[in-house]
Structure 1
Amino acid sequence: MTSIESITLEVADPTAADRFYTTAFGLGTQLRLRASEAPTTGFRGFTLSLTVSQPSTVNSLVDAALDAGATSLKPVSKSLWGYGGVVQAPDGTIWKVATSAKKDTGPATREFDEMVLLLGVADVTASKRFYVDRGLAVARSFGSKYVEFAAGSGPVKLALYKRRALAKDAGVPADGSGSHRLVLSGDAGAFTDPDGFAWEAASLTGTP
């Protein structure tokens, strides 16, 4: 089964970005960084989500991100589905930290249970078909609105969402152009999906 082996963020300053992600989220092999000055404006068409076990851990990670230089897009708050907040890293990447739990069951930690890459796409049904044809297995699907693929052996789960709905969830305008500043690595080979997101063979991705 095809899975994401790693994701690479293309950033202007990899050293500064590495310092941020280590300090804010304690990320290691799940995330790689690569220097790039590719033009990009507005919403880049994707978000990254960290799913955690309880509200106090949401607070812990969001506070650490803000202290490390992130900008708040949606302050941490309760909702019908749980508790979470959205921040934008100094390199421009949008991160959501959330839990479905309504109450704490233990001390706050800095650990997350799952990392999810949400791609904002023009046609969820067409993009779902594209990825299924390349070996990804559907874990959950809600018609033409949302699709989540099984993570397999990889550390990152892939999901598809309507671009405008994803931007709204992140708290930013949907308009944007230029590079996504994102490269996915997996065992399905090199290709570009219908919305311009690039994949490369896992062996071609540089070391963290």
Structure 2
Amino acid sequence: MTTVAGTAAVALYLCCVFTQLTDLTGLRINELLYFRVISPEEISYIFSAAPAKDFGGVFTSSYEEIFLVPADPADGCSDLKDDNNIQGQVILVLRGGCSFVQKAQHVEEAGGKAVLIADNAEDNDSLYLDMVSDGSDAQPTIPALFLLGRDGLMIRRALQRQALPWAVITIPVNVSALGSFPLKQPPWTLW
């Protein structure tokens, strides 16, 4: 039989656990993480991404200028090429071909600091998917984030047009501290 005091104790415990998780990650349940593209200029917007639900790590520090490097192969389902550009950077991979966990594991093994997994539905400009564990023994520890397909497409196109090997980004970005936040969103995405 549940007592009022027992219910209150459980509620207080859950509140403390939630507060500790929020303090560690800076995110609340179902919140998005934001990053800013510094260059190339044509895509210098603030983008949102959804953290993986039950695998991967969290950002323990902010990176003011770090490279966002497209993966080769693009789906990140096998060993990544060009370890020199990947080492210590954020890697952009495409959804599909293997599990989210496998993609994060390949990026981590290549030395990446985090992985952004862009939806392979390139017209997706509003639907975030829940990235969950695949049931394997793999336990990647780097942050893994889901990026809208339209955002991933626009970033890759801008890099291809300018023949750039990477974009320069700031991640994570505290959008509540930015006065002009709404003006810096990608024009193709509604938040």
Same fold (TM over 0.5): no
| Structure that is richer in helix per residue | 2
Select the structure of larger CA radius of gyration: 2
Q: TM-score, normalised by structure 2?
A: 0.28
Scaled by the length of structure 1, what TM-score is found?
Answer: 0.27
